[in-house]
Amino acid sequence: MKAVILAGGEGTRLRPLTLRTPKPVVPVLDRPFLRYQLDLLATVGIREIVFSLAYRPEQIQAVFGDGSALGRRILYAVEETPLGTGGAVKNAEPQLDDVTVVFNGDVLTDVDLGAVLAAHRRAKASATIVLFPVPNPSAYGLVETDAQGRVRRFIEKPKPEEITTDRINAGIYVLDTRALQLIPPGVNHSIERGFFPALLRRGDFVLGYVHDRYWIDIGTPEKYLQVHRDILERRFPVSIEAAARGAGHVAESAIVDGQARLDGAFYIGPGCRIEAGAEIAGGAVLTRDVVVRSGARVADSVLWSGVEIGDDAVVEGALLADNVSVGRHARIAKGALLGEAARVPDYSRTS
């Protein structure tokens, strides 16, 4: 059994953060995002994974290589032209076994994959779709199932009177690889709008497995920031490779002045330097090699590698890409996104 991770998207909703860094390798706390999916797949013994890539594939390959450093075997299927979600899985077919687990490359979840695989086998399903209940079903395409969990139909962006379920496609599938014969090779094809409806028309058993614990799509700035809050506040518990300091964590190689103020759940990564009088507050994530000068305050924000925050500056509710420089007494407003190497002059304010 192998897995396919669909990691070919351009991450347009996260721009400018993803102009140079593909979404699958954006940092989430102390590791590139796809590490979380690799770790989840390892819980069911899957250590051979095909990355389906299109946007900046060389950067993802540079991060993960052949997977040996992580105890995995990582293969790559690179699209020459966009193939869609179904076409991407079809493109990886020559490298797959009889059963394939598929992940959308922007999903973070604690789903019990072992239970999903067991349900798939019991049902002798051609495909199993992990479903997740949401509070506002009208904003999504819904998946309707019967009492046995069999998928009956897909409802795209329903009107209020058309809502019969609150369950959406969570972007996690188990497939009988033979069923991929329904996907034409080398063309753009949607697994959601093409492949799964074709299975239903053919009369195949498509199972819906409901997961109702943790699931989030990191593809927007709001959700990307929320993921960090959830990890820091243990709503999505992971092992953080740093020493606990109160409710936060500080990496061994970080330098934190004794006169700095640390408050709430935060993360200070390797190589960071926090000067006297600086404040690191709840929700702050300093990934690595970040400098926070005297009197500056960082809260509820994610700062990528090489960021420097000047004296008495304030950063709150913002996302800063690699090597951003924020000048003295500057104010970075909630919701701000600063792309790689952006410069904010002294005493400036973002709107």
Per-residue pLDDT of the chain (351 residues; tens, 9 = 90+): 999 999 887 778 888 988 888 888 899 998 999 999 999 999 999 999 999 988 888 889 999 999 999 999 999 998 888 888 899 999 899 989 899 999 998 899 999 999 999 999 999 999 999 999 988 877 777 899 998 899 998 887 777 777 888 898 899 999 999 999 999 988 899 998 899 999 999 999 999 999 999 999 998 999 999 999 999 999 998 999 899 999 999 999 999 999 999 999 999 999 999 999 999 999 999 999 999 999 999 999 999 999 999 999 999 999 999 999 999 999 999 999 999 999 999 999 987
pLDDT in tens, 58-92: 889 999 999 999 999 999 998 888 888 899 999 89
Structure tokens at 351: 């709107």
Structure tokens at 45: 């013994």
* Sign of the CA dihedral running 180, 182, 183, 186: positive
Q: Which CATH architecture has domain 240-344?
A: 3 Solenoid (2.160)
DSSP 8-state class, residue 21: S
HSE-CB for 121 with a 13 A CA cutoff? 9
Structure tokens at 270: 């390797």
Burial of 114: CB neighbours in 10 Å, binned 0-12, 13-18, 19+: exposed
Structure tokens at 328: 């003295």
In this predicted structure, what is the pLDDT of residue 136?
Answer: 80
Determine the distance from the C-alpha atom of residue 53 to the mean position of all C-alpha atoms in its chain, rounded to a whole number: 15
pLDDT in tens, 299-347: 999 999 999 999 999 999 999 999 999 999 999 999 999 999 999 999 9
Query: Do 2-221 and 240-344 show the same overall fold?
Result: no
Cβ atoms of 187 and 156 closer than 8 Å? no
Domains of the chain, residue spans: 2-221, 240-344
Strands 285-286, 302-303: pairing is parallel
- Any alpha helices (H) in the chain, and if so which ranges? 34-42, 57-64, 84-92, 113-123, 196-202, 221-232
Burial of 16: CB neighbours in 10 Å, binned 0-12, 13-18, 19+: middle
In this predicted structure, what is the pLDDT of residue 147?
Answer: 87
pTM for this one? 0.91
In this predicted structure, what is the pLDDT of residue 103?
Answer: 95
Which CATH number, 3.40.190.80, 1.10.3720.10, 3.90.550.10, 3.30.365.10, labels domain 2-221?
3.90.550.10
Cβ atoms of 51 and 75 closer than 8 Å? yes
In this predicted structure, what is the pLDDT of residue 290?
Answer: 98
In this predicted structure, what is the pLDDT of residue 164?
Answer: 82
Phi, psi of 270 (to 5 degrees): -60, 140
Q: Round to whole Å and give the CA distance between 170 and 117.
A: 15
